[in-house]
Structure 1
């Protein structure tokens, strides 16, 4: 992480947990090869913002040159990435620095791009943050106003310094290109401002967005939030509620209940939708997700393996490589999800639906490039864990 102007903000996740989509994860129907754009990391999917929404990061400095095949693929590539998330609320952070003559799309391309992204893409984007905007960029936006709805225009926010992003997201969650960090440092120094590391503070009793090891050291192998929520949800009355983990809770209720948790006070629930939303949010807000990123390649091998090989492969290549102190929590969660899946006839939440909900929660922050295929691999693994948890965690 680069250096930033001093700005201390206690982490807050103050709004909604999104309602999860239960369609199969899409891949480009044309099977188009986007490998060069993937390697360039033009787009990254990384964590959640402080309202609990997925964050999509786009870096102009990684755009392909105009005369390349990848430039002509760029729009289709962006759409393929967004298709995974656009059914739910999401935020976009766009780093404009590094946008130069060789990789600058034409005005016609930008107009076509806006028109190509139909209502489903625009409806659920809740915030579009442009970092280090230039006068040229603002002029282009003004020229496009006749083609842009007033409602969509209200979602745009210009940010002139990286430190200002900490109002919306934890800076350690997003991959900021080095040249963007260097540009920001140079700009601050030229203005006589000191650049300091991001020193976002965490309140002593905070439960959300806290390192799992810190919580385990203080609270034991099962941290307070998942332990209390799962205990509440395990009652027969709650576990059978239709749409549990799918239905959205009140934004105000989520904010207020999270605040009570973070103050170290007792939390009482009287219905299952709010705690189920908070459970997803708690896992998604972990600075490092519970399943480590180095397991992704092993996941791919597991998914490709025959059914009689999968359990041994999961134990040998994934479970054995996880932090031992994190295993009790994963076992506790997966065992609970298995019980939820057993009540599918009542709650309509079988293992495929639960895997789609909890795949991003358990692996979200570690996706190396937000690859489309990676999402499907992760969800398939979570489904297998739920279906065979007794043999895997025996």
Structure 2
């Protein structure tokens, strides 16, 4: 029997760690607007006869804007509708506010009724963030979740579904150019297009300079800068203008647009600013356990080193205003690390990890590897911000 009146668990407790290992909820990279993607997998829910579901209601979500993908099927064990309503009510307000989109995949009709009822009773605004999706193909049109981060049981379930007519439609979005003049291009290409070189002062793409200048002028004192997301349509519109080469007056937009676009620019570079291998070498250098130099580590990526230097100096300046903006070096590292560090894969730049696992255990191991790399990367980026002079 489950324990009576369970108490909220601490992250350091053995019970919490045991539940965390079930991978009921885990991170799966970033969406196209550089917001963290969280996966909630019903198939990983434990037997309620052995673990009280109340213990799963922890506070370990995220404080930044994020999106949530809920894989509701298959599921051997399903929580009661009363528990779902309780869980919804107990979520702290900031987590509901920071949730920008919820994609519920393979959700049955009865559970849809529960979700709709909860939204009507407690939060009509939240209902606008919820999207019901029948198939994984529909999810792929809205958000790019690495396939190796989707549990195999969910993929198998999707493949066994009958093909039925769908009413799914994409929201109207600002069209993107076939050839971009700003985002998604290599730094070398941008240098050639824009007429700057490594000898320029600074040797930085025009779009980055414009975004940083705007942030220095109007956003460096804003509380939570880089944590909040602007309206998606506004972000796409400004990004499209940069890509078409149209003039952009950033002063006509909130600084959250510039903050988000800076992260998106870094995320969409064909080659990461810092590879996983370079991350390890930089870590050794900062700990004085390596004879390598920064120039040696970035010998084959001099443009990346130039941009990294520029970015770390700027983020250091942001930290100097942390008494106002509340963005410490650690907070900035949490936000920027997923955009800076990833595995460089020349074959498929959208895959940040290994090949698609063939088992559920393999998929969970991939999620654990991603989390481990991000935690290590956060420590590195925090040190680079506070000790940015090592890059100069």
Shorter-chain TM band: 0.5 to 0.7
The match for 2:199 is none
The runs of 5 or more residues in structure 1 that have no matched partner are 1-27, 194-200
Quick one: which of 206, 215, 223 aligns to 2:186?
215
SS in 1 for 2:38: strand
Preserved contact between residue 334 and residue 386 of structure 1 (Cα < 8 Å)? no
1:64 aligns with 2:43: no
SS in 2 for 1:97: coil
Shift of 1:93: 0.9
TM-score after normalising by structure 1: 0.66
The match for 2:264 is 281
116-125 vs 37-46, greater mean Cα deviation: 37-46
Preserved contact between residue 131 and residue 158 of structure 1 (Cα < 8 Å)? yes
Q: 1:159 to 1:111 in 2, by over 3 A?
A: same
SS in 2 for 1:361: helix
Q: 1:232 to 1:288 in 2, by over 3 A?
A: closer
1:158 aligns with 2:139: no
d(CA) in 2 for partners of 1:168, 1:386: 33
SS in 2 for 1:130: strand
The match for 1:128 is 102
Shift of 1:314: 7.5
1:227 aligns with 2:209: no
1:262 aligns with 2:243: yes
The match for 2:143 is 169
Higher relative CO (Cα under 8 Å, sequence separation at least 6) belongs to 1
Shift of 1:259: 0.4
The match for 2:112 is 138
TM-score after normalising by structure 2: 0.66
- State the Cα RMSD in Å: 4.7
Preserved contact between residue 32 and residue 143 of structure 2 (Cα < 8 Å)? yes
The runs of 5 or more residues in structure 2 that have no matched partner are 1-8, 167-174, 197-202, 343-351, 354-365
d(CA) in 2 for partners of 1:105, 1:250: 34
Q: Within 5 A, what are the aligned runs for 1:377-388? A: 377-388=376-387
The match for 2:337 is 359
SS in 2 for 1:65: coil
The match for 1:14 is none
355-364 vs 113-122, greater mean Cα deviation: 355-364
Preserved contact between residue 38 and residue 369 of structure 1 (Cα < 8 Å)? no
Q: 1:105 to 1:218 in 2, by over 3 A?
A: same
Preserved contact between residue 41 and residue 62 of structure 1 (Cα < 8 Å)? yes
Preserved contact between residue 204 and residue 307 of structure 2 (Cα < 8 Å)? no
The match for 1:96 is 72
Quick one: which of 30, 35, 60 aligns to 1:48?
30
Preserved contact between residue 266 and residue 339 of structure 2 (Cα < 8 Å)? yes
Quick one: which of 313, 318, 327 aligns to 1:338?
313
d(CA) in 1 for partners of 2:318, 2:98: 31
d(CA) in 2 for partners of 1:183, 1:160: 11
Q: 1:336 to 1:291 in 2, by over 3 A?
A: closer
Shift of 1:152: 2.5
Deviation per residue, 1:235-263 (Å, 9 max, x gap):
69946864278176864653322002223
d(CA) in 1 for partners of 2:145, 2:23: 18
Quick one: which of 149, 155, 158 aligns to 1:181?
155
